[in-house]
Chains A and B, each alone.
Chain A
Amino acid sequence: MNKKLEKLAHLFLYFGFGVGMVAIYLARYSPTEQFLIIVLLATFYIVWGFSYHHAKREATGRLFLEYLLIALIAVLAGFFVLMA
């Protein structure tokens, strides 16, 4: 994967986070919807990570575990504040 594609891939990821922030703002008085947006974004992040690192041929079990754990931390943090 060349540098340009890498940049584009990261732009796509950060664009996703940007869309997520707008969605969070629009759902600012609905904690349930906000939590669902976090779950969706965490899923998007894992799928992106899997695809990106697979394409770069640097995918390892440890790396996916890292993605999974950070996504789980994000979801639990959202649950703790918004839903618990």
Chain B
Amino acid sequence: MIHRKIARQIIPHHHEDGKQHHAHALTVPALFTYFQIFVFLIAGLYFVKLRAPQVLGVATFSAQQIIDLTNAKRVQNGLGPLTYNGQLAAAAAAKAQDMFSVNYWAHNSPLGRTPWSFITGAGYRYIYAGENLARDFNDAGSVVDAWMNSPSHRENILDANFKEIGVAVASGKLTGVDGILVVQMFGTPVAAVPVAPTLAQAPSPIPSPTPQTAGKQVALQTTPIPSPSPAPLAVINPGDNVNLEQGAAPAASATVLASRQFSISKIVTLAIVGFIFFLFAIEVLFVVRRDNLHLRPGVLAHLGMLGFVLLVIWYAVQGAII
């Protein structure tokens, strides 16, 4: 008797009146319950974020990890590793700070500042320069993997023209979301390339094209400019301003709460949506196998919609890059 009651929850069946009924777990009130569960989960997540964010865990990684992984990818592809440059790191930190203070997620700031202005602002004289941006990842490996999977970012990482690198890893609130921001600046200093006579006549940097994904610029700067004193190493504290520390190697790192959030959300969502999908699939299976049952209107469409959501959630990528 009990097993029959349980079966009626998940498979279509006939009642005593001879009418076909679908699984009780797929009735409109049941669907409304699943809807309410999501509402409570989202409300609960915001409550936890507000009151006890430590519950969600800690994510932390450093600029050095990003540089090491970037160089590992270059070496794997037969290229030489990039040398750390403090001025590029300072430029990256200044860019990160600007993104937090002006609150934007783009290569160009709403006030018109380009990535190159941060590089030159840090005193770096370049022939080639590039920028990769990432946010909301929980580990350095995921950031570099995401860049490597994007053609334009990969092009920057594997560009043989680049000789030096600077990275800033910062945590804070960007466009209303707490997370880690990674700014990766590439460059080739003027001194690294022999200046040909024709280049020496170039008066100023070539105007940059509108920065697109993974911005890159080639400029010819030949006017000798004294190199600034020891390059500052940028460390950005959570949700605050940029702190600059002196150092020979990058140690900038950022920590944010909520590292577990993505995986918990993903598992819970897969479980609930997967359960509803499973019930509809069972219904189709039973109808196909039993002649006395017929397919209810809309079931195939529901299966399609839920299957689409399941695939999206399954392949959802943590973090974003531009």
Tell me if A24 and B312 are in contact (CB < 8 A): yes
Q: Which of A31, A37, A62, A63 has the most CB of B within 10 A?
A: A31
Partner of B305, one of A42, A53, A63: A42
In the bound assembly, the distance between CA atoms of A30 and B40 in angstroms comes to: 25
Q: A5 to B28, alpha carbons, bound, how many Å?
A: 28
Asked whether, in the complex, the Cβ of B45 is within 8 Å of the Cβ of A82, the reply is no
Q: Is the CB of A84 within 8 A of B276?
A: no
Give the contacting residue for A70; candidates B136, B305, B312; CB below 8 A: B305
- The interface residues of chain A lying within 8 Å CB-to-CB of B146 are 29
Chain B, residues 299-322, CB within 8 Å of chain A (1/0): the string is 011101111110111011101111
B43: nearest chain-A partner, CB-CB: A84
On chain A, the residues within 8 Å of B45 by CB distance are 80, 84
| A76 to chain B: closest residue by CB | B38
Which of A10, A31, A76, A77 is the most central at the interface, judged by chain B CB atoms within 10 Å of its CB? A77
Residue B160 lies at the interface, judged by CB distance under 8 Å to chain A: no
Q: A81-B262, A84-B265 are in contact. Are A31 and B320 (CB under 8 A)?
A: yes
Q: With an 8 A cutoff between CB atoms, is B199 at the interface?
A: no
Is A76 within 8 A of B300, CB to CB? no
* Chain B interfacial residues counted at CB < 8 A: 44
Asked if A30 meets B32 with Cβ closer than 8 Å, knowing A38-B309, A45-B301, the reply is no
Nearest opposing residue in chain A for B41, CB measure? A80
Q: In the docked arrangement, what's the CA distance between A30 and B309, Å?
A: 16
- B228: interface (CB < 8 Å): no
Complex CA gap A56/B42 in Å reads 37
B224 contacts A by Cβ under 8 Å:
no
Chain A interface helix/strand/loop/mixed: helix
Judging by beta carbons under 8 Å apart, are B301 and A76 in contact? Answer: no
- B320→A29 contact, CB < 8 A: yes
- In the assembled complex, how far is the CB of residue A71 from the closest CB belonging to chain B, in whole angstroms? 7
B297, B306, B311: the one contacting A63 at CB < 8 Å is B297
Please tell me the number of chain A residues within 8 Å of chain B, measured between CB atoms. Answer: 44
* Closest partner residue, chain B, to A38 (CB atom): B312
Bound CA span A13–B305, Å: 9
Whether A52 contacts B316 in the complex (CB less than 8 A), given A80-B41, A80-B265, comes out as no
A63 and B313 contact, CB distance less than 8 A: no
Q: Are B42 and A13 in contact (CB under 8 A)?
A: no
CB-defined contacts of A21 to chain B, threshold 8 Å:
308, 311-312
A58 to B297, CA, bound (A): 8
- Min distance, Cβ A39 to any Cβ of chain B, angstroms: 12
* B244 CB–A CB distance under 8 Å: no
- List B residues 264-322 near A (Cβ within 8 Å): 265-266, 268-269, 272-273, 276, 297-298, 300-302, 304-309, 311-313, 315-317, 319-322
Residues of A within 8 A of B28 (CB): 62, 65-66, 69
Contacts of A79 in B (CB 8 A): 42
**Given A24-B312, A34-B312, A81-B316, A67 contacting B297 (CB threshold 8 A):** no
B272 touches A13 (CB 8 A): no
Chain A residue nearest to B22 (CB atoms) is: A66
Pull 20 A–B residue pairs with CB atoms less than 8 Å apart, ordered by A: A17-B307, A24-B315, A25-B315, A28-B317, A41-B308, A49-B301, A53-B298, A63-B297, A66-B298, A69-B31, A69-B32, A73-B34, A73-B309, A76-B35, A79-B42, A80-B45, A80-B265, A81-B265, A81-B316, A84-B42
Nearest first, the 5 A-B pairs at minimum CB distance are: A76-B38, A69-B31, A74-B309, A29-B321, A17-B308
Q: Please name 15 further chain A to chain B contacts, defined as beta carbons within 8 Å, in addition to the given A28-B315, A45-B304, sorted by A numbering.
A: A10-B301, A24-B311, A29-B146, A38-B309, A62-B28, A66-B28, A72-B35, A74-B309, A76-B35, A77-B309, A78-B313, A80-B42, A80-B268, A80-B269, A81-B269
